[in-house]
């Protein structure tokens, strides 16, 4: 029984890391219809800037806030330069531009922070907690809490506030939104800044567990992707649920089948979901009129 608990706990820990990134993906996709391959890189920038500030002696909270701000500004610059110009080109070109941005940011990360992994002391220094036989890392509880807070904040922001519904309107029908006086390009800029900030928060939270290197962006980015697609590309709660599911899937397949193929199984599920429910498990089906 206690083995099961350990798998669940680890699954949720890993899942919540992917969830933090999935939120960043969904925000950008939700508003601009662009799948931003460079989302993982924002996490890297957030994490490494925070570490640099902490090593420079700033208090932890100040460096976290600065790191998020820097990452958000980089997100804005990326949007204004690369994305704005090519907003209405084909899907393939947009994918390549975001890949170009991701390569560029990774290169900058290499130049500024070098190759060896850097550590970040966790925010709360606590011994691992034993709970029903499973060992829980305090940092992952912290991640879980932040995840729930973010979910609530984003829910209120998107559903309740004017800007939030304007952002959603932009994605559904940019032309109509324009008629209503909403400017899709500022909305897209807002979306990228928001996504970059969310990416930074994700990066800062996961570094105490995974350490930060200039290369960390890509893989966790892809996993965040998978979570979002499985959960549902159009709803933030759907994406978070999807990401948690990916985490659990990975740990249970690792535990019971073999750690060899846990990644392969996750991607197999991704492909099955893409076939049968392209809009994700938790989203309503939507047809397309000829």
**Which long-range contacts link 103-110 to residues 24+ away (Cβ below 8 Å)?**
105/38, 105/41, 105/42, 105/44, 105/45, 105/74, 105/78, 105/217, 106/41, 106/44, 106/214, 106/215, 106/217, 106/218, 109/41, 109/44, 109/45, 109/48, 109/214, 109/217, 110/214
**Structure-token pair, residue 54:** 């902490």
- Residue choice 27, 49, 137, 188 for contact with other proteins (CB under 8 A): 137
Q: Is 88 an interacting residue with respect to other proteins (CB under 8 A)?
A: no
Residue 257 binds other proteins, judged by CB under 8 A: no
Q: Tell me the window of 50-58, 68-76, 92-100, 141-149 that interacts with other proteins (CB under 8 A).
A: 92-100
One residue of 113, 158, 225, 282 binding other proteins per CB under 8 A: 225
165 binds other proteins, rule: CB under 8 A: no
φ, ψ of residue 129 to 5 degrees: the values are -95, 135
Integer distance in angstroms from the first to the last C-alpha of the chain? 53
By the rule CB under 8 A, 93 interacts with other proteins: yes
124 contributes a contact to other proteins by CB under 8 A: no
Give min distance, CB of 222 to other proteins, in A.
7
The answer to whether 115 contacts other proteins (rule: CB under 8 A) is yes
260 near other proteins, rule: CB under 8 A: yes
Q: Residue 107 or residue 156: which is nearer to other proteins going by CB?
A: 107
Residues 106-136 as b or e (16 or more Cβ within 10 Å = b): beebeeebeeeebebebbeeeeeeeeeebeb
Q: Tokens for 107, please give them.
A: 């290169």
Tell me the number of residues near other proteins by CB under 8 A: 70
Contact in structure between 208 and 122 (CB atoms under 8 Å): yes
Which listed residue (55, 73, 89, 183) binds other proteins by CB under 8 A?
89
HSE-CB of 134 using CA atoms within 13 angstroms: 16
CB 167 to other proteins: min, Å: 19
CA distance 22 to 37: 12
Binding mask 39-78 for other proteins (x = CB under 8 A): ----------------------------------------
Separation between Cα atoms, residue 121 and residue 75, nearest integer Å: 26
Q: With CB under 8 A as the contact rule, which of the stretches 59-67, 150-158, 188-196, 223-231 interacts with other proteins?
A: 223-231
Give the footprint of other proteins on this chain (CB under 8 A).
3, 6-7, 10, 13-14, 17, 35, 81-82, 85-86, 89-93, 95-97, 99-108, 110-111, 114-117, 119, 128, 130, 135, 137, 206, 209-211, 213, 215, 219-220, 222, 225-226, 229, 251, 254-255, 259-264, 267-268, 270-271, 274-275, 278, 290
């Amino acid at each position: 029984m206690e083995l099961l608990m350990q798998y669940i706990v680890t699954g949720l820990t890993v899942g919540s890391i992917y969830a933090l990134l999935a939120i960043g993906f969904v925000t950008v996709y939700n508003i601009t219809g662009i799948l931003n391959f460079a989302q993982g890189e924002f996490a890297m920038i957030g994490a490494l800037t925070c570490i640099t500030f902490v090593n420079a002696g700033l208090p932890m909270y100040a460096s976290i806030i600065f790191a998020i701000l820097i990452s958000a500004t980089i997100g804005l610059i990326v949007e204004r330069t690369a994305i704005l110009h090519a907003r209405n080109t084909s899907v393939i070109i947009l994918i390549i531009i975001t890949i170009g941005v991701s390569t560029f940011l990774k290169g900058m990360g290499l130049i500024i922070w070098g190759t060896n992994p850097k550590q970040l002391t966790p925010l709360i220094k606590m011994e691992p907690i034993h709970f029903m036989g499973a060992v829980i890392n305090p940092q992952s509880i912290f991640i879980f809490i932040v995840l729930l807070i973010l979910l609530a904040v984003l829910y209120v922001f998107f559903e309740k506030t004017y800007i939030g519904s304007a952002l959603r309107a932009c994605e559904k029908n940019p032309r109509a939104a324009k008629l209503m006086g909403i400017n899709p390009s500022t909305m897209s800029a807002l979306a990228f800044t928001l996504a970059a900030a969310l990416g930074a928060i994700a990066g800062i939270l996961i570094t105490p567990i995974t350490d930060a290197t200039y290369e960390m962006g890509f893989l966790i980015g892809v996993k965040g992707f998978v979570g979002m697609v499985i959960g549902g590309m159009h709803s933030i709660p759907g994406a978070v649920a999807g990401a948690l599911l990916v985490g659990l899937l990975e740990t249970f397949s690792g535990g019971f089948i073999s750690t060899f193929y846990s990644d392969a199984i996750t991607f197999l599920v991704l492909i099955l979901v893409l076939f049968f429910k392209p809009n994700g498990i938790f989203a309503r089906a939507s047809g397309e009129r000829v």
